[in-house]
Amino acid sequence: MALNLVMIGPPGAGKGTQAIRLCRQYDIPKVSTGDILREAVHAGSALGGDVKDIIGAGRLVSDEVIIAVVRERLAKDDTARGFVLDGFPRTVTQARALDEILEGRGPLVIVVLEVPERELLRRLTWRRVCEDCGASFGGVDVPELAEQRGSEGPVESGRCRKCGGPLVQRPDDNAAVIRDRLTVFTNQTAPLVDFYRDRPTFSLINGLQAPDQVTADLTSAIEAALAASGATGRGRARA
């Protein structure tokens, strides 16, 4: 049975990092609405033009637009065995739409990463992205501005460990926008916890731990959720 996983948590909680790890472990794609929208902005598409200003201000695009984006993405063949959703759903309206999209596709596993606000501010204000390849650094491992040793030797301070490009701060990672994003999360996204809490496939995870421990806790929660729903993910998981 497919592993359909939703990761919920505020900006800076580590959802992106953990999603990538789980995708490798279970051999399923990561579906990030944030990545989809940023790619649209970079490509100058019609969707990108509509959401550019909204993303820059750290606000959320409409439920209607995001639901349509996710519906189209989850209809692709590579999601047949499951997926990890990062950044969706953010509202109860989106959650109800996701239930409808996934009807007949197996259980929905929901994990919530919990991180105190002070730590979120620390992570996000230090986060940097590569201007050339888009790789993200910082977050849990902050700061990333000291000299690093990449696969081909030392990397200059403030340069990408993957390609050597310059590290820059995302426009939506300044302190004022971060606080606005956290407020938006609290007001609009936190009610998802109440919406999902009573499901046997729901878990709360301490995101303040070391990344490897968070991954271990997520794996345990996923396996327990699949067992509770009569499915199993162990046959697909890779060491």
Q: Which two tokens stand for residue 107?
A: 């259980």
Considering only CA atoms, which of 26, 11, 1 is closest in space to residue 218?
26
d(CA 135, CA 164): 11
Rounded Cα gap, residues 113 and 99, in angstroms: 21
Distances (CA, A) of 188 to 22, 78, 112, 152, 192: 26, 30, 15, 44, 8
What amino acid positions are annotated as catalytic residues? 15, 90, 127, 170, 181
232 Rama class: left (phi>0) / alpha (psi -120 to 50) / beta: beta
CA quadruple 150, 31, 56, 172: dihedral positive or negative? negative
